[in-house]
Amino acid sequence: MVKTEIHIIGLGNLGSAFLEGFTSFDENYLIKVYELNNDVLEIYKNKYPEYKYHTNLDQVKSGVLILCVKPQTINKIFDQIKYTIHEDVLICSPIAGLDIDHISKLINNKIIRIMPNLLIRNNKGFIPYSKNYDDDYLDFIQLTLNNLGDTKEFSEKYFPVITALSGSGPAWFFALSNELVKAGNKLGLSNQESELLVNKIINGLPDLIASGDRFPELIKKVKSPKGTTEAGLNSLQNDSFDTIILDAIEKATQRSIELSKELKSE
């Protein structure tokens, strides 16, 4: 059986999450990685010697090219690589703010835009996607993305809010967790004890969510009338928790729209 080539450019946070996600189902793939930083390359070469590693992208004749580089570098990178990529290669872009329309002006290939988060590292991601072709070319959605997590097609116009909610999503929960740890610490626990409590909650949450209850029902299950949880929730409400969260998601959405404009004007 001919193996599908997967080319990953950039081994930062997301590129390494892709690479590690692939390790559990890599038998049908030939994985090639491109990263400028030699120290980073060496780490992964030692960890996964079965893959191919390069500092520069040369010829890409087939398969899928996954762009795991910062938005600010993409125009320059395409200037360097567009003539070395065969037209049969599927371009997969998780780059925040980079529209399919923008990429198709740089290269005339099939393009799938995705917005994963770092949970793809252990095959538990959620991968919203939008594409400029009809079929499931190379079975990339069915056989590849679905192994990295769950997938769902969205209209591309929703990508800025999807980026804010889902792409950046883990950061919102880490920021909340960090504040909880600090609160426990301020109220007498050691930092380590407080961190242990918060970690245990986070690790247990998937079991609670698995009940299928919606979030308001889950909240109701934790609180009792005039109890401790209700006191805390009332305080959150009085301190405009809803507005704080809405503002953060709006700012992140806006930044995604701005990034897109900046990329277009470069």
Ligand X SMILES: NC(=O)c1ccc[n+]([C@@H]2O[C@H](COP(=O)([O-])OP(=O)(O)OC[C@H]3O[C@@H](n4cnc5c(N)ncnc54)[C@H](OP(=O)(O)O)[C@@H]3O)[C@@H](O)[C@H]2O)c1
**Which residues, 139 to 198, sit near ligand X by CB under 6 A?**
167
C-alpha to C-alpha distance for 231 and 234, rounded to whole angstroms = 5
Counting contacts by CB under 6 A, is residue 52 touching ligand X? no
Residue 31 β-bridge partners: 6
Counting contacts by CB under 6 A, is residue 38 touching ligand X? no
Counting contacts by CB under 6 A, is residue 130 touching ligand X? no
Q: Which residue in 34, 51, 140, 159 binds ligand X (CB under 6 A)?
A: 34
For the four alpha carbons of 16, 66, 95 and 145, in that order, the dihedral sign comes to negative
Angle value at C-alpha 70, between 243 and 251, nearest 5 degrees:
10
Q: Which residue in 28, 37, 178, 229 binds ligand X (CB under 6 A)?
A: 37
Of 35-43, 45-53, 123-131, 194-202, the segment contacting ligand X by CB under 6 A is: 35-43
Q: How far is the CB of 245 from ligand X (least distance, A)?
A: 19
How many chain residues interact with ligand X (CB under 6 A)?
26
- Smallest Cα–Cα separation from 153: which of 131, 125, 175, 138? 131
The total number of residues shown for the chain amounts to 266
Counting contacts by CB under 6 A, is residue 73 touching ligand X? yes
Three-class secondary structure of residue 238 per DSSP: helix
Kindly list the residues in this chain that would bind ligand X in the complex (CB under 6 A).
Answer: 9-15, 34-37, 40, 68-71, 73, 77, 94-96, 115-118, 167
